[in-house]
A and B are shown apart, each in its own frame.
Chain A
């Protein structure tokens, strides 16, 4: 482990840029922390902290000058690995002949370096890896974008208002899946990062960055801060038996209650770092001789999602809310061996009516218990 002085964080970014990486990470825009290109460490949300609650997000100045004092914003890294709009192919019609030109995902010019990945987000990336690079077919677009991504993770030293990564087993400390993991420490007038190296590639990059070997006391300081984040978590999900419980309560009256509040706005699916539903769009130009097929994000909350000619398999709001929650905490486990939620809390923060899935799961449990008596 190394110690990186805060002023040298910029050197790390430069080291990545000089190796040809396109460095992206948290930055400020419209009073929100979003993911975008980072030119230097100055682009990070320095001195900011955030207040997150159900349906509530505010940034404010903090007393300290931390680089990673915020937690999560509405963006997730799926913005880069699973882009909202991707062209799959185009076709030119010449008479009866159709000439297809497939987009070659390998052609993508940039190699990403994700700078500031939270442990819950590492888990989310791993989940989407399972979806898109699984057994049957690997999605070429995702695979090409994912390969070689350099990950600089950031351990959380404070818990966001809506976080529950601890009970989902995904944080607040990064265990693996990173090249480098930073823990920001501000104490006794000192401001530095404890750097954990995860791969030989990480070691190689660090060779170009001023660093000293981390002493036991500094490592301990970092560990204590992360524990504080863990202890500060206000929400949790009891995972034990949840999968079977949900599967056995698909017709509970609870779903009617929650769907009365849900606006079906799809915000939760848009901000969720693991949601992977998409659709395909076929378009032509005015000449009618050029067609394209695009993949774009979709959401199970939309009316069209389960539509087929002549009907709809899931027309009611009740069924659509149920689909999302049961997929996230139950079906996902059947499909991929692990729950689809990483406890990042975004859906709670960005729900306009403040639906809190941790509370909803408790409500479902309570409803089931009542029904049995």
Chain B
């Protein structure tokens, strides 16, 4: 994909928001368009988290191996959402498997490169952390609601 197209695509993703021009250029420089088929893996638990993904289309399921229960899918990440924050958080390793459960198109960002840039330019680092904090918050809220198991003991209706 041509750089100008990439910029346009990147700008459309909610993760970018109102990022300043110069930082947007940084991201574009570290971005590439990727595609996964249904059943393909974007990441594996334990591997180095050198990339993170801005999902454009499709769904990625977060899979965790739960011992005797086998593979459990605990959440899907969909269009407009972000997969992966471990690129910026020590020890920079994935904590789950990310499996595409449909055709997925996404922007893969070079997290390794970007975290170096965050260390050098703290203002840029702040912009990235701000955005990741949003991701943590909405993920946490959703997880809490899932934990409440609201459908569990429902009154007869």
Contact = CB atoms under 8 A, between A and B. Distances in A.
Interface in B118-157: 153-156
Interface string A263-278: 0000000000000000
Interface in A291-333: 308-311
Contacts of B154: 310
A345 to B, nearest CB: 39
A114 B62 CA distance: 74
A150 B146 CA distance: 61
B92 to A, nearest CB: 44
Nearest to B152: A310
Contacts of A308: 155
| Interface of chain B, main secondary structure | loop
Contacts of A309: 153, 155-156
Nearest to A308: B155
Nearest to A307: B155
A309 B154 CA distance: 7
Nearest to B156: A309
A311 B154 CA distance: 9
A371 B88 CA distance: 45
Nearest to B153: A310
A127 to B, nearest CB: 31
Contacts of B155: 308-311
A219 to B, nearest CB: 61
Contacts of B153: 309-311
A309 B157 CA distance: 11
Contacts of A311: 153, 155
A63 B6 CA distance: 102
Nearest to B155: A308
A356 to B, nearest CB: 37
Interface of A: 308-311
Interface of B: 153-156
Given A308-B155, A311-B153, 7 more contacts: A309-B153, A309-B155, A309-B156, A310-B153, A310-B154, A310-B155, A311-B155
6 contacts: A308-B155, A309-B156, A310-B153, A310-B155, A311-B153, A311-B155
Which 7 residue pairs are nearest across A and B when measured between Cβ atoms?
A310-B153, A308-B155, A309-B155, A310-B155, A309-B156, A310-B154, A311-B153
